[in-house]
Structure 1
Amino acid sequence: MSAATRTIVMTGATRGIGLEAAQDVLRRSPETHLVILARGTSGARALPRLREVSPHVSLIDTDLASKASVEAAAAQVEDLLEAGDLPPLRSIVCNAGVHLSNALTTSVDGYELTFAVNVIATHLLLRRLHLHLQCPARVVVTVSDAHFGDLRHTGGTMPAPHWAGPETVSRPGAFDRPARIRAGRRAYTTSKLGGIHLVHEWARRLPDGIDIVSYNPSLVSGTGLARDAGRRLQFAMTWIVPLFLATPLVDTPRVAGRKLADTILGLTPAPTGAYIHRTRATRSSAESYDAGREKILWDWLEQV
């Protein structure tokens, strides 16, 4: 196999649609060197499967719930790029996500864990690495149509997000009855709304030739994302959602992974700042377009 000529840095590549997407990218783009940021145990499990596809895969042990760990991982990527040990950086994929059964779990730094991983870690990684992206480049942030919080998009399983500003929603216990499953789900939908806000603000600031998009895989069976989100949602994802696999409404991880790979590789056309729903750019929720809110989020993240 020929030497790699470009680097993709990816979180959330060790299971579910992320692992499927990573394998698909390596198959279709053998010139790619994939750097996965993941905890050592999960990364070590995924690494053999990825290296069956391509030898151009590296693992950097990273705890996305720790600001120091994210900074250290990004610094390691920087060192490898600057030393010429990695080919030019062409893509950053923030696919990792957390969905919990409460809104009280705390990150290493004292933030609510869902927000810490789904929003703060994304910004920290982009802040450190975006200067190393070489045009043409694409940044992908995985979000969710759960941010709509309505019956059409969630089937009534998820509450609407409640955005009260980053300083508030990033705190453990920010939502009503925070120890309950519904609060954990609200923390999730709110964090995914925050992810779209973040994409919009980054799109305003990145130079021409570097685009950033949010990607919504929609309903996917068997991803494991709901494993910490309460029994009712686990039941729905395990037994009800798979019943719709024969319809256009639900994808398997392999199919969803291929669609995510299309987005990563730039095969799904979309302008910077766009919201890609599975295979096409479309509108996210009306609430997700708020330049003032996005600027406040940016300024707050720059201080964390």
Structure 2
Amino acid sequence: MALAGRIYLVTGSTDGLGKATARRLALDGATVLIHGRNEYKGENVLKRMKAETGNPNIELFLADLSSLEQIRQLSRDIHEKYDRIDVLIHNAAVFEEKRRESIDGYEMTFAVNVLAPFLLTYLLLDMLPKNKGDGRIVIVGSMQHSYCIDFTDLQLEKSYDGITAYEMSKLCAIIIAYELAERLQPFNITVNTLDPGMVDTDLLHAGWKFYGMPPEEADSVYLMATQPLFAKVSGGYYVRKRESRSAEVSYKTKTRRRLWALLEEMAGAPYP
């Protein structure tokens, strides 16, 4: 099989796009680490995915990504069982109609969509191969991202609505991808981000009341995680499988470094 021997971690993979991506990776023979919050749901997805793909090399890991401590425990759990991860796919995301705070006191959308991938990458960096083209990180962004960032109200305490929170979080995720690509270049780890298209997920229904294409037809994340092209390019943003440009603010070095410093402090993750 094409991906035999390769190890993939897909966050948020017990439903929607993440589940469809994990299933396709498993069909191609990869070892797939799926992730979810709910043990009962996760075990059912795991059982069905193994049966449907005929691939026994699928394992479930549980963690609430709104909790920094649970993210750290997730890293410990993975380290106990594996010595490497070839590809890290940050797919998990939430949409919150009303403002809520995580157990650590951060706005929930920001906690899951921004701090979680930032911290989890930091914790798993030692597991990513440093040989050219072998290690890669894929961050699911969105065309629905902000075109500015308000550092005076990053947690949206002054004024909140779900779409603003989501768009801000996706801008931050894109910035993380660009900054990671630059910082990890000496280690031969590629980092790219993408808009997967309008996929029919609970998140899309909750935020925009739209219906999209079935997750099984959305292959952008799968392609970025597997195709040889993306072992050679880094720091890219793709929309509908074509390289594009995100908001201009995401390319401003001063803004990126300011956000990075804040995230390091919030997550307790001092990147080297």
Same fold at TM > 0.5: yes
Structure 1 residues not aligned, in runs of 5+: 83-87, 148-159, 243-250
Aligned counterpart, 2:225: 264
Counterpart in the other structure of 1:109? 104
Matches of 2:228 and 2:27, distance apart in 1: 15
Alignment equivalent of 1:164, drawn from 147, 150, 153: 150
Could you tell me which amino acid in structure 1 is paired with residue 227 of structure 2?
G
Distance 1:288 1:132 in 2: 28
Q: Is 2:152 the partner of 1:190?
A: no
Match of 1:22?
A: 22
Equivalent AA in structure 2 for residue 51 of structure 1 = K
Between Structure 1 and Structure 2, whose CA radius of gyration is higher?
Answer: 1
Alignment of 1:1-304 (within 5 A): 5-28=5-28, 30=29, 32-39=30-37, 40-52=39-51, 53=53, 54-82=55-83, 88-102=84-98, 104-134=99-129, 135=131, 136-147=134-145, 160=146, 162-165=148-151, 168-169=153-154, 171=155, 173-174=157-158, 176=159, 178=160, 183-206=161-184, 207-220=186-199, 222-229=200-207, 233-234=208-209, 237-238=210-211, 251-256=213-218, 258-267=219-228, 269=230, 271-304=233-266
Matched residue SS, 2:82: helix
Kept after mapping to 2: 8 A contact 1:268/1:280: no
Which amino acid is 2:247 matched to?
S
Instruction: Give the whole-Å Cα distance in 1 for the aligned partners of 2:122 and 2:265.
Output: 12
CA distance 1:260–1:267, change in 2 (3 Å):
farther
Task: Tell me, in whole angstroms, the C-alpha distance in 2 between the residues paired with 1:303 and 1:94.
Answer: 21
Give 5+ residue unaligned stretches, structure 2.
267-272
The code of the aligned residue for 1:164 comes to D
Q: Tell me how large the CA RMSD over aligned residues is.
A: 2.2
Residues 65 and 71 in structure 2, CA contact (< 8 A), matched pair in contact too: yes
Cα deviation for residue 227 of structure 1 reads: 4.3
The percent of aligned pairs where both chains have the same amino acid is 28
- 1:301 counterpart SS class: helix
Is contact 2:93-2:112 (8 Å) kept? yes
Q: Is the 8 A contact 1:106 1:172 kept in 2?
A: no
Letter matched to residue 75 of structure 1: R
| Mapped partners of 2:41, 2:169: distance in 1 | 23
TM-score, length basis structure 1: 0.79
- For residues 49 and 147 of structure 2, the distance between their equivalents in structure 1, rounded to whole angstroms, comes to 35
1:44 Cα deviation after fit: 2.2
TM-score, normalised with respect to structure 2: 0.87
